[in-house]
Structure 1
Amino acid sequence: MKLNDERLIKIVPSDRQVMLQMTEFYAFFHFTVNTFTGTEWGYGTESPEIFNPDQMDAYQWVQAVKAAGMKGAILTCKHHDGFCLWPSKYTKHSVKYSPYENGKGDIVKEVANACKKAGLKFGIYLSPWDRNQKTYGQGKPYDDYFVSQLIELLTGYGDIFSVWFDGACGEGPNGKKQVYDWQRYYDTVRKYMPNACISVSGPDVRWCGNEAGDTRTSEWSVVPAALSFPERVAAFSQHSDDPSFRQRIISSTEEDLGSRERLAQEQHGIWYPAEVDVSIRPGWFYHPEEDDKVRSLENLMDIYEKSVGGNATLLLNIPPMPKGLLHKEDVKRLKELGLEIQKRYGRNLAEQSEIVVKGVNEWMAVHGIQTDDYDTYYHGNGPKAEFKISWNSPQKISAVILKENILKSQRIEAFEILSINHGKLKKIYQGTTVGYKKIARFPQIETDTLVIQIVDSRIEPTLSFIGIYEL
């Protein structure tokens, strides 16, 4: 049976997927021996002796990303070089054999504890590709090794909100590539940390398709089931240290993943939301020559509004320096970002307004959609709906935030925002998907009445939140 509207709205997120979408914006910390060698991809031959962040301050990292409004952080516990930031008992290629804290240090513990102290969620990145491990490419022996390290991380560092796998896969010492036992990896996460999302090469969250911060105009969470196959993700992942890959943008052939027209020929769909991962600098690891290449506030705000405000989550990488601190320019920019987000979206003009929805014969008051939760929400009677927001005096408006109740799936296919001036309607914004959150930006207008029209949706639309802002 092909997917139709009635089947599509039955596809809803798991509790862990809702948790991640509500986290919205979180940090990536890329830190390993690469930080000391100046490379992006290590070779696995680096001596642990080079790893010695003598001013290590995980709390400085966490306070900096918290200032930006982030709600969590993911640490590269082991990158492709195989160097472990925790004292793994399964390898000598780890912090245990480094000068840091005389071999008694544990970077994973420090970051996990700093996150907990600051009230942020903590996540782990564990590269499936290990260029140091001799069993890589031998099948089960390597899977045993990888799962053993995964269990160490899942059982030793408290709650974990995200387990991040990429699809990197190279040749082992025997010239063979490892065929990853993905299902075994997933089962291990589910056993030891059942509430954690398994991201990118995993069943819970999909990669947006690039590392440049580029986003789709219409981002769907309900997509063809085949998109979750980890081999497919691996096929499109980066296979060499090629800087041009980080600037790749989405091609038009990948633009539509979930419209009803796209899904009409599919038999199986899944809830599989997108994550946008991007670095604050050109590289993912720290390089001093990039100190003057930190992304501008304007660029970061644009990425934030198009990702978090485009039905995706945003994973922003901030690479620590060899001394174990974030650079002052990165810290400064993160603070600016947090202040700008609060400045733009801290005051909801809809809270001082009356919101009504057009019924069959009259306008009816809508209650609860000025509050950002799923306890109260609007549920329509047909595929269209029209809301009117009014004030006693004209308001300056530059943005509208809309949120569906994703517990009821993603339904809205098209919407419009209009203003009323001197009794005439004027269209100021036209959009497609809404999903978890849509930030609609437009040139500032001044009006005492705003109209939001849902012009197409799957069966009946839902709307859990309306926010209106002067930027």
Structure 2
Amino acid sequence: MRTPEEQIYYAAGIAPSLRQLAWQQLEFYAFTHFGMNTFTGREWGDGTDSPRLFAPDAFDADQWVAAVKSAGMRGLLLTCKHHDGFCLWPSAYTEYSVKNSPWKNGQGDVVREVADACRRGGIKFGVYLSPWDRHESCYGSGTAYDDYFVNQLTELASNYGDIFCFWFDGACGEGPNGKKQVYDWERYYSVIRNLQPEAVINICGPDVRWCGNEAGHCRKSEWSVVPAELRDAERTSEKSQKSDDGTFSRKFDSQDEDLGSREAIKQAETLVWYPAEVDTSIRTGWFYHEEEDAQVRTAEELFHIYLDAVGANASLLLNIPPDKHGRIAKADCEQLKQLGEMLKNKFAHNIAATAQIEADTVQTDHSVEFLTDGDNGTYWLASEDSASAVITLRFPELKNISAVVLGEYLPLGQHIEQGEILAGKNKIADFTVVGHKRICMFDPVQTEELIIKITSSRTEAALRLLEVYQES
């Protein structure tokens, strides 16, 4: 057993993989729940609906991508197969797919069109594939269903270009034979690692952790270094939605608010880099329902969810469900565009590089000037074993400041535990963990001097990013 001091040094040395680092740079991306449920008005289909019901009359994947980009999102995940088992691509392993729908006379491929539209639009493409299949007769039979699932996973991983993410939820109910399947997760992972080695595997996967709710709620201190047992897919499944009750998407449980503090990790034999993703929907449901057109989350609400997720060391996955025509509805598009404008306006005027900057602690070759050079490969590094640090910015004139953004250099690990921001002698904000990004918002304040104090760090702090935003 390690001593408490040894455990903290061990935790400070855990770092992300290259695929995890690339994923964290995306920060904000979209979910699109689209399929049989779009046309039946359900959330969870049972696999008995006719493929003839799938009939979008104005399908436009480029319109989806435009809506996603208008909000500032950098990727899109498609529900290629939901729990009902209906496939949005012409899978060779089932007749329950778009090839037996009237859409494009059975010659269409939603996955192809969305993947191509993402590339045309310059955003990443990701895949959701439900392991639970309420249509397939071999579900619950063990290896036979694993073979079926792996065959479909292989189709998606082989035929649609680069995929940045494979997203697995914890759903595991009964199939048409009344049996449940024990998923061979390691086999699924090996297929992805072989065919799409740069892709992250999310939620029931080893790369990205579910935040624990679908309400857009993020912990005050969201550590990326956590006990290894949190990667257990069955543990995630137990906390996942068990039935289509219409309320799960807005609930969160405060029971697991601390996953990575000194207290939380002190007994952990193995720690891993397992960063958090916050997933929520722009609507109450995950699939489109016309009656929810008047219940779309406002841009202001989405803006605060963004700050609480992306601004607190998590990534945000926002669901935007296309309608029966195959388009993102007008109400959703309007709020997404407003959200994008709010984000651009709030983070338009970074003035950090205009300041004279100094730090009370620094290591050779890691100057404090690297904080504001816009290069993610350079970083300021405090003196060895420093548990605290002070960074001071002096502006040539009074500035009206309303936000500070910090980002650690993650290849060295996640170190910063706590800090505060002062305008001159007046404290204007506190912060806890930083990780990939910490956004500190406060009422606008006029000052010529801004001080960032790191009051607690597991070992020397390493920051790649310091942005200071002037109120426009």
TM-score (ref. length: structure 2): 0.96
Please give the per-residue CA displacement for 1:374-396, whole angstroms capped at 9, x wherever unaligned: 32211111111100011111111
Task: Check the 8 A contact 1:84/1:93 in 2, yes or no.
Answer: yes
Instruction: State the match for 1:392 in structure 2.
Output: 396
> What is the Cα deviation at residue 173 of structure 1?
2.8
Instruction: State the match for 2:271 in structure 1.
Output: 269
d(CA) in 1 for partners of 2:373 and 2:98? 47
The aligned runs of 1:33-44 (5 Å cut-off) are 33-44=36-47
d(CA) in 2 for partners of 1:250 and 1:70? 27
Q: In the alignment, residue 332 of structure 2 is paired with which amino acid?
A: D
Instruction: State the match for 2:359 in structure 1.
Output: 357
d(CA) in 2 for partners of 1:371 and 1:77? 41
Q: 1:417 to 1:326 in 2, by over 3 A?
A: same
> What is the Cα deviation at residue 170 of structure 1?
0.4
Instruction: State the match for 1:462 in structure 2.
Output: 462
The aligned runs of 1:197-346 (5 Å cut-off) are 197-251=200-254, 253-346=255-348
The aligned runs of 1:114-263 (5 Å cut-off) are 114-251=117-254, 253-263=255-265
Task: Check the 8 A contact 1:386/1:454 in 2, yes or no.
Answer: yes
Task: Check the 8 A contact 2:286/2:321 in 1, yes or no.
Answer: yes
Runs of at least 5 residues in structure 1 that lack an aligned partner in the other structure: none
Instruction: State the match for 1:88 in structure 2.
Output: 91
Q: 1:141 to 1:365 in 2, by over 3 A?
A: closer
Task: Check the 8 A contact 2:60/2:326 in 1, yes or no.
Answer: yes
d(CA) in 1 for partners of 2:296 and 2:239? 27
Task: Check the 8 A contact 1:215/1:250 in 2, yes or no.
Answer: no
1:449 is the counterpart of 2:449: yes
Task: Check the 8 A contact 1:166/1:234 in 2, yes or no.
Answer: yes
> What is the Cα deviation at residue 151 of structure 1?
0.2
Task: Check the 8 A contact 1:354/1:365 in 2, yes or no.
Answer: no
- Count of matched residue pairs: 463
> What is the Cα deviation at residue 292 of structure 1?
0.8
d(CA) in 2 for partners of 1:88 and 1:435? 41
Instruction: State the match for 2:57 in structure 1.
Output: 54
> What is the Cα deviation at residue 267 of structure 1?
1.1
d(CA) in 2 for partners of 1:44 and 1:365? 60
Runs of at least 5 residues in structure 2 that lack an aligned partner in the other structure: none
d(CA) in 2 for partners of 1:347 and 1:80? 45
Find the residue that maps to 1:292 and give its secondary structure: helix
Task: Check the 8 A contact 1:74/1:123 in 2, yes or no.
Answer: yes
> What is the Cα deviation at residue 365 of structure 1?
6.8
Please give the per-residue CA displacement for 1:316-374, whole angstroms capped at 9, x wherever unaligned: 000000111110111111111111111111221102111110149xxx97212113433
Task: Check the 8 A contact 1:214/1:250 in 2, yes or no.
Answer: no
State the percentage of identical aligned residues: 53
Task: Check the 8 A contact 2:30/2:75 in 1, yes or no.
Answer: yes
d(CA) in 2 for partners of 1:39 and 1:300? 25
1:70 is the counterpart of 2:73: yes
Q: In the alignment, residue 426 of structure 1 is paired with which amino acid?
A: N
Q: In the alignment, residue 259 of structure 1 is paired with which amino acid?
A: S
d(CA) in 1 for partners of 2:368 and 2:309? 28
Instruction: State the match for 1:8 in structure 2.
Output: 11
Q: In the alignment, residue 122 of structure 1 is paired with which amino acid?
A: F
Task: Check the 8 A contact 2:367/2:381 in 1, yes or no.
Answer: no
Find the residue that maps to 1:313 and give its secondary structure: strand
d(CA) in 2 for partners of 1:185 and 1:372? 38
Q: 1:392 to 1:259 in 2, by over 3 A?
A: same
d(CA) in 1 for partners of 2:176 and 2:323? 31
d(CA) in 2 for partners of 1:385 and 1:330? 44
1:380 equivalent among 379, 382, 400: 382
Task: Check the 8 A contact 1:216/1:250 in 2, yes or no.
Answer: no
**RMSD, matched Cα:** 1.2
Task: Check the 8 A contact 1:77/1:108 in 2, yes or no.
Answer: yes
Instruction: State the match for 1:438 in structure 2.
Output: 438
Find the residue that maps to 1:77 and give its secondary structure: strand
Q: In the alignment, residue 158 of structure 1 is paired with which amino acid?
A: G
d(CA) in 1 for partners of 2:193 and 2:374? 30
Find the residue that maps to 2:370 and give its secondary structure: coil
Q: In the alignment, residue 105 of structure 1 is paired with which amino acid?
A: G
Task: Check the 8 A contact 2:367/2:380 in 1, yes or no.
Answer: no
Instruction: State the match for 2:21 in structure 1.
Output: 18
Q: In the alignment, residue 34 of structure 2 is paired with which amino acid?
A: F
Task: Check the 8 A contact 2:29/2:73 in 1, yes or no.
Answer: yes
Deviates more, 1:287-296 or 1:168-177: 168-177
d(CA) in 1 for partners of 2:375 and 2:152? 38
Q: Which runs of 4+ in 1 moved over 3 A?
A: none
